Amino acid sequence: MTEEKIKEALSNNYIGVIAARNGFFLVKGEHDSGIDFSVKYHITRIQPSGKTRETEAPYSCNLQLKATTEKSIKIKKGHIIYDLRVENYNDLIYHKSLGNTPLVLILFVLPFDKLKWVEIFDDKLYLSKNAFWYYPDKDDEVKNSSTVRIKIPIENKVNFDFFNERIKTWIPEWKLID
């Protein structure tokens, strides 16, 4: 497997663990559609018979995942500076303009040293380093031919509360999972 494919697999698993830990599940997007995963969850509904049934909630959030190393980013004035391909940036803008299901970029940053990407100890598995979310505040697609430099605030770290807290601001109907 190439190094790029390894980074991609690690980022997919990282976000999968965060989602599963909070009761959400990921649905893989179509190849090269700009959407890597849709984050979904189940709700319980009461049927006319009085019995309960678990069903898929009508709301979701789409994710575009990117993986890189510390060497490929810069940290400046509390922001991660990252060069994103124009087509990926424009996907974010396009989905934002639709207004129903947001598309959020998740940038997974691995250590420069490949030996530190995954470490196994007697009672722990470490997947290093961090992931950060980016949702554009602009509404205009760009016409550049290659990349757009984006600034991701350091505080946009994807943590265990990301799905419950952050996505609720983009989708007010999003049900908080207990």
pLDDT in tens, 76-98: 999 999 999 999 999 999 888 88
Q: With 0.95 as the threshold, say if the pTM is over it.
A: no
Task: Supply the DSSP symbol for 162.
Answer: I
Whether pLDDT at 156 is above 90: yes
Q: Is 105 exposed, middle or buried (0-12, 13-18, 19+ CB in 10 A)?
A: buried
Say how far apart CA 10 and CA 95 lie, in whole Å. 25
Q: How far apart are CA 15 and CA 31, in angstroms?
A: 18
pLDDT category at 175 given cuts 50, 70, 90 is low
